[in-house]
Structure 1
Amino acid sequence: MSESPQSAVSLSTDDYRRLRRATETHREELVVRLAGEVGLRPAEVVRVRPSDATTHRRNGVDHHLLCVPNGDGDTARRAYLPADVEHDLRQYARTAGVAADDPLVDVSARRVQMLVSEVADRAADRAGDPRLREASSQTLRAFFARRLLVDEGVDPRVVASVGGWSSLASLDQYLGDTDPEPEAVADAFAPTALAPPDATAATATSSGPRFEAVFDRARAVADALDAASTREEVESRVCETLVEDGAYAAAWVGASRGEAVDVAAAADAGAPDGVGDGAVAAALRTERVHTTGDVGADAEFAAWREHAERAGYRAAAAVPVVDGETTYGVLGVGADVGEFGERERALLADLGRRVGRALTVVEQRKLLLADTVVEVAFETDAGRSFFARAAAEHGCELELDGVVPGEDQSLLYFVTLRGAAAGDVLSWATDESAVDDARLVRDYGDEALLEVVLSGPDVAKALTERGATVRELVADADGQRVVGEVPADADVRALADDLAGAFPGVELVSKRERERSGETRGAFRASLHESLTDKQAAVLQAAYHAGYFEWPRGSTAEELADAIGITSPTLHNHLRRAQQKLLTAFFEDDDPTLDAESPWPDR
């Protein structure tokens, strides 16, 4: 999954200064700076130790980096640490007596979110600007990204790496104006190797003009994907769009069918024969873009040579089409001349992920509306799967109530806990690298409802990433059982092999085809899902499972917004619109058999 939508509050540099001035303790200011200037999430802030700050000398200048630890204490990524933030970090550690390997901010991730909220309230009161009251840790990360991308012009790939974003697409929301004037585009590319050597020397072999055409087509692909409703439409529209205006001479999509790759769609020039080996196999194996400037001389692209002569291209690229853990196949493109520069390869890699995400969406939609589905059940022991390990560690039982997509490819699970103290399980879970956040929603005495934001490995999460819908999850001391649904034409054996590779010991224990009920409830849910946006559906489902609609409420709007990764105003906006669509679908009278005087039939 990509980063959550941009916060409703967009902080300016002056707004950020107001937040810093509203801090009342050294710890509060450090928390704000680690989020707003280093890009840390709350769960990362509480893991940082003084020893994680390192210094690297480059061209006679000392640069500070922060080795951001995961829950196991290993380095998840390296963030850039501005010199004055590094000074504040060291000073706070000395003043507070924090040992080198102890947590710098020894509180929970939830408490970090509350600290930021308290600072935001103070800043709003002092500045007389109620807008600042909605600032959150997510808002600070948005400020961090926007400042680097827009104000400082840092390479988006570097921003994604130091900030922990999973893809370049996750940064789109922070880029501001995505349709700059021609002069701004020319100025941006002038100092690069993609531009012609002077104003009159744009030659036919220069990749600069091609990159601009490809960049334009990549944006057009994004629009085309939004309108596609089937896998076939996604694949064909990608190919057709990429060859428009001469961006590429050829484009085709190959679908993975077990060990083989079959051509699923192609533009007018068709596709090469026998594409399962060489560059295509390498792209699928490594999940990296493979390119060549000369198909005729590159052994990896030997299978493409005859097609290249027919279609009139010399350079070519094989692009993996992936979404999370799911590999759908490969996108092949051919260009008349010129090498593929680093930026074009990065653009193609991101395009492959966008196509993969679109394929996941249409597969899930097909599953939702299908009359026949295949129900699959998997079992595994503690191993790498999070919920199995949690149950084994505490001798308890965990049962799924519901699951909702969160930010950064995470999933928001609501699980019922039995047989262990909620505090013990939550304390253990928040130290796990697989968990971004966890909290108690409601304690019923003999059982408790927990909310767990999971970004690490679990069999249920892996099934969801591979296009399945998880219906049941139960984990106890003996292991974990997950039941999901996949489309009737899904390759269940390939799915099972894929899961076994990711989770040694996982076993497919049952597989059965069943008819979906044709009852009104199913039709109602399907029609409602079609009218809701993905975010509205996610927010409505999360609110339901978190007890937001109960009395007294099991979760506040602020808690729910923080868990999903959006601000409270954004949550209320999505929730109100979703509720309106729900009520409209429920009360709208399309049945002429109902009594005209009453919305309810006699019973």
Structure 2
Amino acid sequence: MCAVDTDVGTTVTPASYRRLRRATDTLRAELVVRLVGEVGLRAAEIARVRPADVGHYDRDGTDHYFVAVPDDDGGTDRRAYLPPDVEHDLRQFARANDVDDGERLVPVSPRRVQMLVAETGERAADRTGDERFRSVSSRTLRQFFARRLLAEEGVDPHVVATVGGWGSLERVERFLPDLDRADVAAAFERTSLVEGADGPSADGPTVGSRFDAAFERIRAAADALSTASTRGGVERRTCERLVDGEPYAVAWIGQQRGDAVGVAAQAGAGAVELDGVSPEDGAVGAALSTDEVRTTDDVQSDPAFGAWRDHADATGYRAAAVVPVGDGESTDSVLGVGTVAPVTDRERALLSDLGRRIGQAITVVEQRKLLLADTVVELTFESGDQGSFFAGLSAEHDCTLTLDGVVPGEDGALVYFVTLSGAGAEQVLSWATDRAAVDDARLVRDYGDESLLELVVSGPDVATTLVDHGATVGEMDATAGTERVVGQVSAETDVRQLVATVTDAFPDTELVTKRERDRPAETPTAFRASLRDSLTEKQSAVLQAAFHAGYFEWPRGSTAEELADAIGITSPTLHNHLRRAQQKLLTAFFTDDQRPGDPESPWAED
């Protein structure tokens, strides 16, 4: 299905991974490489794992092993699958080094774990003469872990997302191999749809007509998302497509508005009476709080679906589902569907994926509206809450951090470019990489009294919370424990709800100013808005990251490999997005009214 390439770089392959393992010089380094490349653990997780976290599971006489991945609070984040030979090496390492069950296997900082991987890559490059090994990192090994399971082993993407801690299918989609007609034909030959093929037996599972119908409705709803230009359009078209045929009798989208959930869009038989439902009660509340799909086979007997009973009785459906609608970071809406037959597990997975797609589509149109709006609401927050990452960092080191730029990164993280003053860069980087909130950190430029740092932050921060809820953060600075963040939201945003979200997460935080600002009709503003609208989300993120990381400076502040690693993409993909973005930027700047021969052109003929 996919060729095994021996190229190294930001993409590790089975052949290069074997050479990398052979380059390890200690048992600890080899164990670290295997825990990342074969178990999918992050650097911070490896630094917390203990022998006691490993558990045994017997399934029909076959031994399996799992590691309960510790989170930052001492609980369990997830259970990662531990291949038997890795489990054997882990136990052997623990015995050889007298590591007790309750002690950390690798008692070093997450930054040191990252350095062990990088040092192994350096040795592999020296040993093989292949310079591309020098770009291997813990992030690229996790990508190898996902690609190998998906492309080589054929593991279900749901399983890969779960054991690897990606949380959703969207975050592993980029690791899936491209399919040709032979792959598709082979897949369908394993079903009952192809006559004469070796599909499932008569006693085995078959593709039911109801699931086929549900699949078609959900696919139609997903396809319609790209054509909507407003939030209302996204919600309305989703509902209309879902009920345009069997099996759904009704579809609606409810949005949290303060202490209630109101119906924002609906389609199907009759009106949905759900206004006034608390977001903390019943199936709707459960979907909002847990970010998981809730279903019932019988609305009339299920107390969690009590608000649905009159409507279900009037329109004739019996089963129902409530689907969280969010972009992977925040959830403030739900999708509800009513149907005659129970919702299957496969259908439930499709609905969950649709909910994420709706959330992402809403985020895109809201951000576009913010970029093009004549009036925006500017909010300024001040926080002394040490639970906010930048406030805590500035307090710990009595320093000042000033935001240069922020772009989206891998797994929902944000890549911050910040100027540091008042503290040493290495000291701050060492502290930051030891925090669970930070996936990666590096020095971009040292200017003497100041330094430019790149911090990949996935943990809690006031600025991150604002971005997760659709705001654009234009300013952020943190000094000696006090963080100030200035964000802009569209005029239609529920500011009260946004402020409550921020202050609930960070109690020692207050909104100090709120004001409406008119965007003047200036040519630079119009130019930037037009350009941003023409760039894809990925092209914009890559272009911004390259700019803030000094990629266009001479000498370069960052290499393409470093940029790709921070964002979570391969180097060829980064170059592709960057070149396309540059082409659009240059096309927008060099308009058709200035060509060689024009009076304003420097190339005009004398």
**Secondary structure in 2 matching 1:297:** coil
- Partners of 1:14 and 1:151 lie apart in 2 by 13
Tell me the CA shift for residue 117 of structure 1: 4.4
Write out per-residue CA displacement over residues 417-457 of structure 1, whole angstroms, 9 at most, x where no aligned residue.
Answer: 11111121111111111111111111212111111100000
Deviation at 1:503, TM superposition (A): 1.2
Matched with 2:86 is 85
Q: What is the alpha-carbon distance in structure 2 between the residues aligned to residue 565 and residue 155 of structure 1? A: 21
1:416 aligned residue (408, 416, 419): 419
CA distance in 2, matches of 1:430, 1:288: 31
- The 1:422–1:501 alpha-carbon spacing in structure 2 relative to 1, beyond 3 Å, is same
Give the secondary-structure state (helix, strand or coil) at the position aligned to 1:267.
strand
Secondary structure of 1:504 counterpart: coil
| Candidates 508, 512, 523, aligned match of 2:511 | 508
C-alpha distance in 2 between matches for 1:143 and 1:351: 27
1:221 corresponds in structure 2 to 221
Are 1:279 and 2:280 matched, yes or no? no
Question: What letter corresponds to residue 108 of structure 1 in structure 2?
Answer: R
Aligned to 1:3: none
Which residue in 1 is equivalent to 2:377? 374
In structure 1, which of residues 272, 275, 290 is the aligned counterpart of residue 294 of structure 2?
290
User: What CA deviation, in whole Å up to 9, does each residue of 1:499-537 have, x standing for no partner?
Assistant: 111111211111000101211111111111112111111
Task: Report how far residue 189 of structure 1 moved.
Answer: 9.3
Deviates more, 1:360-369 or 1:209-218: 209-218
Are positions 1:399 and 2:394 aligned together? Answer: no
SS for the counterpart of 2:172 is helix
**Counterpart for residue 457 of structure 1:** 460
TM-score after normalising by structure 2: 0.85
Q: Which amino acid aligns with 1:168?
A: L
| Separation in structure 2 between the aligned mates of residue 324 and residue 207 of structure 1, nearest angstrom | 30
SS in 1 for 2:435: coil
CA contact (8 A) 1:72 1:433 kept: no
Map residues 587-598 of structure 1 onto 2, 5 A cutoff.
587-590=590-593, 596-598=599-601
Contact 2:44 2:436 in 1 (8 A): no
Please show how residues 520-531 of structure 1 align to structure 2 within 5 Å.
Answer: 520-531=523-534
Change in 2 beyond 3 A, CA 1:310/1:164: same
Match of 1:570 among 551, 569, 573: 573
Which residues in structure 2 correspond to 1:135-534 (within 5 Å)? Answer: 137-149=138-150, 152=153, 154-176=155-177, 181=184, 184=187, 187=190, 199=202, 208-277=208-277, 278-337=282-341, 339-534=342-537
Partners of 2:204 and 2:50 in 1: how far apart?
A: 53
Give how far 1:94 is off: 5.7
Query: How far off its partner does 1:378 sit?
Result: 0.9
Name the CA distance, whole Å, in 1 between partners of 2:582 and 2:121: 27
**2:140 touches 2:565 (CA, 8 Å); kept in 1?**
no
The residue number in structure 2 matching 1:40 is 41
Distance, in Å, in 1 between the alignment partners of 2:427 and 2:140 is: 31
Q: Percent identity?
A: 60
The yes-or-no answer on 1:539 pairing with 2:503 is no
Query: Does the 8 Å CA contact 2:81/2:163 hold for their aligned counterparts?
Result: yes
Contact 1:120–1:134 under 8 Å retained in 2:
no
Q: Which residue of 1 aligns with 2:4?
A: none
Query: For 2:121 and 2:564, how far apart are their aligned partners in 1?
Result: 12
Q: Which amino acid aligns with 1:68?
A: V
Name which of structure 1's ranges 304-313 and 560-569 shifts more when overlaid on structure 2. 304-313
Q: How far is the alpha carbon of 1:544 from its aligned partner?
A: 0.9
CA contact (8 A) 1:123 1:132 kept: no
Residue by residue over 1:19-45, the C-alpha shift from the partner in whole angstroms, topping out at 9 and shown as x without a partner, is 545656655543442222111234444
Distance 1:259 1:48, change over 3 A: closer
Partners of 1:148 and 1:551 lie apart in 2 by 40
Moved more, 363-372 or 84-93: 84-93
Q: Is the 8 A contact 1:136 1:567 kept in 2?
A: no
**Distance in structure 2 (CA, Å) of the matches to 1:177 and 1:391:** 45
Instruction: Please list the CA deviations of residues 280-335 of structure 1 after superposition, one character each: whole Å capped at 9, or x if unmatched.
Output: 34433443322221223333334333433454422111222123453331111111
Matched residue SS, 2:248: coil
**1:318, 1:226 → 2: CA distance?**
23
Structure 1 window deviating more from structure 2 (436-445 vs 344-353): it is 344-353
**Number of the residue aligned with 1:30:** 31
User: What are the superposed Cα offsets for residues 354-400 of structure 1, whole Å, 9 maximum, x if unpaired?
Assistant: 21122112111111111100000111113310100111111111111
Output the aligned Cα RMSD: 3.5
In the aligned structure 2, how far is the partner of 1:57 from the partner of 1:319?
32
Amino acid at match of 2:357: R
Contact 1:380/1:506 (<8 A) preserved: yes
Looking at structure 2, the residues matched to 61 and 201 of structure 1 have their Cα atoms a distance apart, in angstroms, of: 23
- After superposition, where does 1:1-40 map in structure 2 within 5 Å? 13=14, 16-17=17-18, 19-21=20-22, 26=27, 29-40=30-41
1:492 offset after TM fit, Å?
A: 0.8
TM (norm. structure 1) is 0.86
Is the CA contact 2:254–2:265 (under 8 Å) kept in the aligned structure 1?
Answer: yes
**Higher RCO (C-alpha 8 Å, min separation 6):** 1
Give the match's secondary structure for 1:352. helix
Alpha-carbon offset, residue 231 of structure 1: 0.7
User: How far apart are the structure 2 equivalents of 1:29 and 1:201?
Assistant: 43
Distance 2:325 2:264 in 1: 13
Q: State the partner residue of 1:580.
A: 583
Task: Tell me, in whole angstroms, the C-alpha distance in 1 between the residues paired with 2:557 and 2:94.
Answer: 37
Q: Deviations over 1:479-508 (max 9, x none)?
A: 111110000111111111111111112111
**Cα distance in structure 1, aligned partners of 2:39 and 2:420:** 36
Deviation at 1:64, TM superposition (A): 2.8
2:115 corresponds to 1:114:
no
Residue 80 of structure 1 aligns to which amino acid in structure 2? Answer: Y
